[in-house]
Amino acid sequence: MNPETLDLARLQFALTAGGHFLFVALTLGLATVVACLQTRATLSGSALHARMVRFWGQLYVINYAVGIVTGIVMEFQFGLSWSGLTHYAGDVFGASMALETVVAFFVESTFLGLWIFGWHRFSKWVHLALIWVVTLTAYASAYWILVANGFLNNPVGHREKGGRLVLADAAAVFTNPSTLAAFGHVLSGALLTAGFFMAGVSAYHLFRRTPEWEFFGRSLRIGVFVSLPALFVTAAFGGVQFVAMQPMKEAVFSKKGAEVARLQAEMVTRFGPGDYVPSEALTRGAGILMLLAFALMMYLCLAGFVLACFKKAVFRFRLWHVVLMAAVPLPYLAMISGWLFREAGRQPWVVYGLLKTEDAVSAVSPDAMRASLITFTALFVLLALVNIWLLLRHARVGPVERGLGHDDRDAADPADSLAAASY
């Protein structure tokens, strides 16, 4: 395998996987928050919470719509750049990838469409059930992806037949500890991302002395109160993964030189000549960046939890508003560096202990891989910029009567429109 092709393929997958995950994190978190807000609005008949469903739901739909395009691009990665992986281990993790496609592109998108266009057409209870189906299928989609990723990090439930891996124990694959810990970590991290996003957007409007002070004051508090428990749950699942990480990754991260040398010699004896030490710059650097982001978010969440208990701070503490706006990227930084730490620390294995990355890459020329890298990177950058522009545009406008959930049959009187919005 040409080393240049391998490096380009790894870079391409890192950029596209990381880019896609930026959308997934906010989508998972906002779906949960919107479902809870709609539950509150449905049970209480609160017009304020119904308007919150429409505003935050609009931002969720934008992020989902653009993100699903990046997911489609991700599907091309395995066949285009990693045919060795799909040939060797596709019979094991291919089923989970197929299930994720069915869940995300058919079930989830279908019910989301019903939720978007079903306002004023279904009863309030049916409409509420739709958003919960969307949320639960989003969880299922994340789970099936992590089943595949968990197998790559901790291959279980398989046997070798004819030089390929085949499924031997589906239950072991589906309950892989590497999968379950990562699943909890990702879901709680997504809630943390949504909490910081809600708090930051709300702080922007409060900083500008919006007339919608009650709307964004409530939203800011929700974002802060969601973020703190989500942060600690994320840390708990992250700690579980630290305990169970691969020995070489742990040795490199902890800078245990003697242990690294011992493990290198042991792997050479077991698997043959080669460099089995992952990049210290990527592994250790990403891990430290993740922990630093966590520490900063912890201080912000603890301080924010206290400040959110005081109305004057929520509405008038402009310095806090600026901090909340600036803090929106922190969960993204933590989650991307966490993924880099998880994946880079596994090298040189794509299926740990079974298949090396150099043996998983498709037999394509460096020029072809470079062309696909440029194409995918340009597409992802464009999609990311479009998503940011749309989110900022709609977030700046604030809650309006037109948009998601609007019905031309609503009365012209704003009070009647609010009543209609609350079912």
Which residues, other chains included, contact 411 with Cβ-Cβ below 8 Å and sequence gap of 6+?
A: 417, 420
Rg of the chain (C-alpha set): 23
- H or E segment and range at residue 130: helix 124-153
pLDDT in the model for residue 266 = 93
Residue 2 has pLDDT above 80, yes or no: no
Q: Are 91 and 158 in contact (CB under 8 A)?
A: no
128-178 tens-digit pLDDT: 999 999 999 999 989 998 999 999 999 999 999 888 999 999 999 999 999
Q: pTM, whole model, 2 decimals?
A: 0.89
Q: Per-residue confidence at 107, pLDDT binned at 50, 70, 90?
A: confident
Which three-class secondary structure state does DSSP give residue 167?
strand
Closest CA to 46 of 411, 403, 419: 419
Residue 417 has pLDDT above 50, yes or no: no
Q: Where are the domains of the chain?
A: 3-169+179-246+278-421, 247-276
52-70 tens-digit pLDDT: 999 999 999 999 988 888 8
> DSSP 3-state helix, strand, coil percentages of the chain (rounded to 5)?
80, 5, 20
Give residue for tokens 């919960």: 132
Neighbours of 315 (CB within 10 A): 16
The rounded distance, in Å, linking the Cα atoms of 190 and 184 is: 10
Q: Per-residue confidence at 410, pLDDT binned at 50, 70, 90?
A: very low
- H or E segment and range at residue 342: helix 330-344
More confident residue, 72 or 358: 358
Structure tokens at 405: 């959930």
The rounded distance, in Å, linking the Cα atoms of 139 and 264 is: 38
The rounded distance, in Å, linking the Cα atoms of 107 and 141 is: 10
Please provide the average confidence, as pLDDT, over all residues in the chain: 88
User: Among 19-33, 80-94, 318-332, where is mean pLDDT lowest?
Assistant: 80-94
Find the mean pLDDT for residues 347-355. Answer: 91
Q: What is the DSSP letter of 160?
A: E
Q: Per-residue confidence at 216, pLDDT binned at 50, 70, 90?
A: very high
Which residues, other chains included, contact 183 with Cβ-Cβ below 8 Å and sequence gap of 6+?
A: 142, 143, 146
Q: Per-residue confidence at 418, pLDDT binned at 50, 70, 90?
A: very low
Residue 363: CA count within 13 A, CB half-sphere: 1
More confident residue, 240 or 72: 240
More confident residue, 162 or 236: 236
Percentage of the chain beyond pLDDT 70 is 94
